[in-house]
Amino acid sequence: MTTNATPTVLFAGNPNAGKTTLFNLLTGARAKVGNYPGVTVDRREAKLKLDDGSHSTVVDLPGAYSLTARSAEERVAIEALLAAGSATPAAVVVVLDATTLGRGLYFATQVLEVGLPTVIALTMIDEAKKLGMVIDHAKLAASLGCAVVPVVATRGDGKDELVRAIRDAVTSVPARSPLRRFDAELEADITVVEDALVAATMGSRSDEAAKRRLRVLAQWALLSIGDDELTGVAAGVREAVERVRSDAKRANRDVDRELVTARYKRVDPLLRDVLGEKAGPVKRLSSRIDDVLVHPVWGLLVFVGVMFVVFQALFAWAEPLMGLIESGVDALSAFAKAELPEGAFTDLLVNGIIAGVGNVVVFVPQIAILFVFITLLEDSGYLARVAFVIDRIMAKVGLNGKAFVPMLSGFACAIPAVMATRTIESRRDRLLTMLVVPLMSCSARLPIYVLMTSVVFDPSDKVFGFLSTGALVLFAMYVTSVVAALGVAFVLGRTALKGPRPTLVIELPPYRMPRAINIGRATTSRVRRFLADAGTVILALTILLWALLNYPKDSVSEARFEQMRAVATADADEEARQAALAEIDAEQAGERLRNSAAGRAGRLFEPALEPLGFDWKIGVGLIGAFAAREVFVSTLGLVYDVSDATEEDQGLHAKLRAAKHRDGSRVFTPLTGVALMVFFVLACQCMSTLAVVRRESGSWKWPAFMFGYMTSLAYLVTLVVYQVGRAFGWGV
């Protein structure tokens, strides 16, 4: 036990037990949110001032129903509890929901076996009282051998008592709660695994504390190893676990069942002991709310309504804020351009750094809005119902109901949508959702659809005499995106991400009033993490892309433009001079782009793009669009010598309509337009998405895979669309 460093106090408990509310109540100050090394699980810690004036570091562990951990993410809790040496926690606070005490005690007794000084915080006692449950917490404390403090976190009741109990736990000599053994057969099994753990130096029997840890670790191994996603488990330990399990099976025993049942057999009598007579069955308010909210008819209507509000908020409410950020960035660029001398540095600052920061900050409104809603839904309990209501449909393609909110958010923007996959517990399900979310047609694709439909279709074009062709094509793009996302999920779930049969086992927690402070903290921490992690990658990629689109510069052509400029400046007529200069600027920008690495790459890739109906200029646009899809429009404008082009720019429309292939045929036929839109639906034309997937999946492997499959899919489907269309003479 260390005495010099600030002692660490762990907060552990079931999900929905009010752990976060209690954590916020106790620590008050802003929590420091970081990552556990190697996994994408938030690590929240904060300072807690004890009543003797000393400080502790409180760490909020991820919510769990048990110490079983089949993946690195789940293992975070048990690793923190079993940490030895200087990292040994000084105390643990187990947060128990009084209304589901039995399930909570299963977890609490596991934690108590670790032998750390433990305090039980009994939350929701007000709710339990309403249900006619009276808990004898003194008896509970005596039976478990640790302090039990009833609290009502939402009102702050019991806060001082809890702080006092934590101080006692931290400062007193640890009095380990008594250890109760299982029956002889099960104890023998545990010993076999303990021996293997010692042999593999994953544990030791050096002292009493180490023996306690070893025993907990052995039980963890027995329940977790096999069909797991764990790394760093010694082969000897795996073998021992397999051997114990198969030996037991031969003797007609089931170790898993015995371990879990034995623990519940201890918990259940204890529960009867501490729980006063129940005053008959009381129908919970939650249950009555659910009679409406998951009703076969009203439930679906509520579902559609709630999802519509979330979507509307993400799509429409973020818009003005994003516009504000964009004009702010524009103003800053203009200011820098006006104040600083012209040159490579200013160009880098304006078009690389300022634009890059803009590319990052522009996502903040959508991320913030989505996380306000997600936290609101999660804390109120409705998010679990969203999964409950829609699971049947999602199950058909191998996803689970929890994938719905991220997929829906994908229509607005993949960045917040990918971040929203954090609400999915299973790593496989989370990855699968993350990989298909970018196929949902996001709002950044819209300017491209608008540009293409207005260039290649006549607004008076009608199908069946009343449907506008452009609108129909637009609708088809959205259908394509949904079909692609679900189809790819179906295929990936059976190939690259094949795993055990996907399941949906989720608690439907009682409805509770969400707390503004929790929502605010969850949202700000999400935004901060995005800016710090994904943001830096996006900024770096923007600068790289800027360099590709601007360098190398051709000195001969630069000199030629200087000369043209000198001639134009000599013009006495003010208006003519300005017009001539503007024209030279536009032409020079186009020339620079054509000479740049991206311009050259566009020409290099032209043979590959030709079968899709694209020319090299579209290729350059595609490279530019990688910064953000909507940039395609302005990049295309640059290649066609139209400066500051927008999707509604008549000049750009005219130039695109007039564009010709080398053989003199039109480039932008309706077929090319449709092919280009299909390409944009399916291709991963967004470096920010890649950056955020790297952040959320924990490695570059998955964004690389995503980029690969989306680009191949986009290429193949576009190829088929264009070639079949041409063969039948559609829209050429």
Partner 1 sequence: MQSTLSDLSIGERGVIEVVTAARPLAVRLMELGLVEGTEVRIKRRAPLGDPLELELRGYSLSIRADEARCVRVRREP
Enumerate binding residues for partner 1 (CB under 8 A).
65-66, 68, 70, 99-103, 106, 131, 223, 226-228, 256-257, 260-261, 264, 286-287, 290, 294-297, 299-300, 303, 384, 387-393, 395, 401, 500-501, 503-510
Structure tokens given for 67: 């110490």
Q: Could you report how far apart the first and last alpha carbons of the chain are, in Å?
A: 78
Residue 552: is the preceding peptide bond cis (ω within 30°)? yes
SS3 193: helix
Structure tokens given for 484: 């692609």
CB of 388 to partner 1, least distance (A): 5
**96 versus 633: smaller Cβ distance to partner 1:** 96
**Whose CA is closest to 309, among 391, 412, 436, 379?**
412
Q: For residue 41, which amino acid is it?
A: V
DSSP characters for 442-502?
A: -GGGHHHHHHHHHHHS-TT-EETTTEEHHHHHHHHHHHHHHHHHHHHHHHHHHTTT--SPP
**206 versus 261: smaller Cβ distance to partner 1:** 261
CB of 132 to partner 1, least distance (A): 11
**26 versus 405: smaller Cβ distance to partner 1:** 405
Quick one: three-class SS letters along 109-155? HHHHHCCCCEEEEEECHHHHHHCCCCECHHHHHHHHCCEEEECECCC
Question: Would the CA dihedral through 193, 197, 199, 203 be positive or negative?
Answer: negative
CB of 106 to partner 1, least distance (A): 7
Structure tokens given for 354: 């300022």
Structure-token match 């409180």, residue found: 58
**396 versus 528: smaller Cβ distance to partner 1:** 396
Report yes or no: 493 and 432 within 8 Å, Cβ to Cβ: yes
CB of 243 to partner 1, least distance (A): 16
Per-position b or e across 44-53, b if 16+ CB within 10 A of its CB: bbbebebeee
Could you tell me the CA-to-CA distances from 248 to 110, 193, 235 in Å, in that order?
A: 23, 13, 20
Structure-token match 């590709």, residue found: 548
Structure tokens given for 164: 């006092």
**505 versus 516: smaller Cβ distance to partner 1:** 505
CB of 254 to partner 1, least distance (A): 9
Residues 6+ apart with CB under 8 A from 700: 694
Could you tell me the CA-to-CA distances from 467 to 4, 460, 463 in Å, in that order?
A: 76, 10, 5
Give the number of residues written for the chain: 732
In 570-644, alpha helices (H): 574-595, 597-604, 606-609, 616-625, 631-639
CB of 467 to partner 1, least distance (A): 31
**105 versus 633: smaller Cβ distance to partner 1:** 105
Structure tokens given for 1: 């036990």
**88 versus 286: smaller Cβ distance to partner 1:** 286
**318 versus 389: smaller Cβ distance to partner 1:** 389
**126 versus 461: smaller Cβ distance to partner 1:** 126
**147 versus 386: smaller Cβ distance to partner 1:** 386
CB of 93 to partner 1, least distance (A): 21
**386 versus 659: smaller Cβ distance to partner 1:** 386
CB of 299 to partner 1, least distance (A): 5
Q: What are residue 48's DSSP bridge partners?
A: 56
CB of 6 to partner 1, least distance (A): 33
**286 versus 643: smaller Cβ distance to partner 1:** 286
CB of 125 to partner 1, least distance (A): 14
**Whose CA is closest to 67, among 217, 203, 183, 198?**
217
How many other CB atoms sit within 10 Å of the CB of residue 308?
Answer: 11
CB of 504 to partner 1, least distance (A): 5
Q: How far apart are CA 680 and CA 713, in angstroms?
A: 11
- Exposure of 411 by Cβ count < 10 A (0-12 exposed, 13-18 middle, 19+ buried)? buried
CB of 485 to partner 1, least distance (A): 20
Q: How far apart are CA 272 and CA 266, in angstroms?
A: 11
CB of 263 to partner 1, least distance (A): 9
CB of 260 to partner 1, least distance (A): 4
**391 versus 696: smaller Cβ distance to partner 1:** 391
CB of 264 to partner 1, least distance (A): 5
**175 versus 300: smaller Cβ distance to partner 1:** 300
**70 versus 212: smaller Cβ distance to partner 1:** 70
Q: How far apart are CA 354 and CA 521, in angstroms?
A: 28
